[in-house]
Structure 1
Amino acid sequence: MKIGYFGPAGTFTEEAASTLRGEMVPYDTIPEVFEAVHTGEVDLGVVPIENSIEGSVGVTLDLLAHQYLLKIRGEIILPINHNLLINPEAELGDVEIVYSHYQPLSQCRMFLEKRGVRTQAARSTAAAAEMILGDMKAAAIGTKRAAQLYGLKIAEEDIQDHKNNMTRFVVIDQEDHSPTGKDKTSVVLCLSKDRPGGLYDILGEFASENINLTKIESRPSKEKLGSYIFFVDMEGHHRDIKIMNVINRIQSKVGYIKILGSYPQEGDD
């Protein structure tokens, strides 16, 4: 079993992927992970989809909705603790610039503003750790594993602005998961036309079957300004009779609906 993940080694995505059994294969970008699963280069892919502070990862949603027929097979929810990494010989007061992926930079905004440092986005937290090697005036926001991999020291721990910081990762595959009895289903849909109460009408169909929606989010459809698609997560499996009934009933009320996958539900959203 080969597991592709948004790398390199030392990222939170690697930590999430390591909960699965298999050979770990890092990729530089999220689209590369999708393409590797699509072509069969790897068996599964692990990518971030949502953070409790910064919200959804747009590129993951767009790839699922528009570019690939891959399915969500699982989800992994990981507590996120950010650390400020510096060179062993450096001191905290020496730091003038901090590198990291844009998400950690956003999640540690108040800490960084208080320090009065400049920030620079990097491809990943691990890439940021590598970039600061030998630079006494630079720091990186990254994982403890990244500190070990690159020989850095942790100047400060848990620097995120909000302590209840969680990231949800999804496992992508050619097929989704068989029913387990405690599942979640993700779909994306587009209204057939812009009319008052259109979304309310569709959501009412789920309520009529007592289906609990755990998430609903709109994103631009990429067709024209003001046109949106909706991502919906619900409790249950798409093979459940009541979910099948709802999807059948709303077919005529939407421009399209795409099942992104059903998978075992982990933890509480």
Structure 2
Amino acid sequence: MKLAFLGPHGTNSEEAALCMNRISKKDMELVACDTIYDAIRAVDEDDVDYCLVPVENSIEGSVRITLDTLAHDVDLQIEAELVWSVHNQLLVKDENVPIHTIISHAQPLAQCRQYLKTHYPQVKTEAVASTARAAEKVSRLGSGYAAIATKSAGDLYGLKLIDSDIQDREDNFTRFILLTKKEHGEKLAPPANMMLICQIDGRAGSLYELLGDFARRKVNMTRIESRPARTGLGEYIFFIEIDVDVKEDILQEALTAAAAKCFWLKNLGAFPVFRGSVN
């Protein structure tokens, strides 16, 4: 089997994928993709069996391309979630030359915003497709450039570590989700959460009524977020996550009642939650 991730080699996504491979005990071949969208589409088009993609960071919030692709472009299920502890490192080719440009993915640049403001206030920043792309580019450009990336990317591209764990908060976590086709799904452990995507009408009280179907049955909602529905200005879809630690009949009753209030409702399935770190 094959597992796609956001490449190239040396990204946080690859480290998380290696961890998920160990958890799943599937011994999957890892396949690097250029973008998160490409990784998800690779599953949908049967080029790979699974993909592991980020969906939310504890500092910077949701990964919009993941949410939008799940809502509009594919019909996949979540087999598992991995809460990954993210560590950002500052890497250079030549540690004796002053830094004038720092390169990374947009998320790590944002996760290290205060650090950069304090230590490198005059330095330019540049966003690229992944942290490993940043390391590769710094290796190629040489002196004066730095990358925010993983230690493994630094080793891979011959860079020197000049500062470690530069993220603004110690509790910097990214939630990754393991996606697969519905017919491939297997449960790795008892499920803890469920993700739903739905669209409701825009009349006053409609969202309140939808959420009430869960509240009245004591089904705990752990997260809700809206995104544009792409059907018109001011029209939205909702991503809802719920705790499935309730009786099966009560959960199904809540889902049925909620679906009746929606134009459409997509259930991405119930899934277990694991934790991991490169350390």
TM range (shorter): over 0.9
Aligned CA distance change for structure 1 residues 138 and 230 (closer, same or farther; 3 Å)? same
Distance (Å, rounded) in 2 between the aligned partners of 1:248 and 1:48: 29
Give yes or no for the alignment of 1:129 onto 2:138.
Answer: no
Aligned CA distance change for structure 1 residues 178 and 82 (closer, same or farther; 3 Å)? closer
Aligned CA distance change for structure 1 residues 214 and 155 (closer, same or farther; 3 Å)? same
Runs (5+) with no aligned partner, structure 1: none
SS at match of 1:214: strand
User: Which of residues 27, 33, 55 is equivalent to 2:33?
Assistant: 27
1:5-64 Cα shifts (integer Å, max 9, x gaps)? 111110011011102131111000112111211122211111111000000100000111
Would you say the 8 A contact 1:179–1:237 is kept in 2?
no
Paired position in structure 2 for 1:211: 219
Paired position in structure 2 for 1:188: 197
SS at match of 2:165: coil
Paired position in structure 2 for 1:198: 206
Paired position in structure 2 for 1:232: 240
Indicate the RMSD between aligned Cα atoms, in angstroms.
1.8
Paired position in structure 2 for 1:167: 174
Would you say the 8 A contact 1:185–1:238 is kept in 2?
no
Paired position in structure 2 for 1:40: 46
Distance (Å, rounded) in 2 between the aligned partners of 1:186 and 1:147: 36
Matches within 5 A, 1:1-269: 1-19=1-19, 20=21, 21-87=27-93, 89-91=94-96, 94-114=98-118, 115-116=120-121, 117-133=123-139, 134-175=141-182, 176-178=185-187, 180-191=189-200, 193-236=201-244, 240-266=248-274
Would you say the 8 A contact 2:95–2:162 is kept in 1?
no
Runs (5+) with no aligned partner, structure 2: 22-26
Would you say the 8 A contact 1:238–1:244 is kept in 2?
no
Would you say the 8 A contact 1:237–1:262 is kept in 2?
no
Count, aligned residues:
264
What residue identity is the alignment partner of 2:108? P
Distance (Å, rounded) in 1 between the aligned partners of 2:270 and 2:178: 11
What residue identity is the alignment partner of 1:138? Y
Distance (Å, rounded) in 1 between the aligned partners of 2:245 and 2:187: 8
Distance (Å, rounded) in 2 between the aligned partners of 1:66 and 1:56: 16
Would you say the 8 A contact 2:92–2:138 is kept in 1?
yes
Aligned CA distance change for structure 1 residues 211 and 249 (closer, same or farther; 3 Å)? same
Deviation at 1:238, TM superposition (A): 11
Identity of aligned residues (%): 39
1:157-204 Cα shifts (integer Å, max 9, x gaps)? 01111111000000000024449544211001111x212221111111
Would you say the 8 A contact 1:177–1:262 is kept in 2?
no
Aligned CA distance change for structure 1 residues 5 and 238 (closer, same or farther; 3 Å)? farther
SS at match of 1:203: helix
Distance (Å, rounded) in 2 between the aligned partners of 1:179 and 1:77: 15
Deviation at 1:111, TM superposition (A): 1.3
Aligned CA distance change for structure 1 residues 111 and 75 (closer, same or farther; 3 Å)? same
Would you say the 8 A contact 2:194–2:243 is kept in 1?
yes
1:218-253 Cα shifts (integer Å, max 9, x gaps)? 111112121111101111189932221112112221
Deviation at 1:214, TM superposition (A): 1.1
TM norm structure 1: 0.93
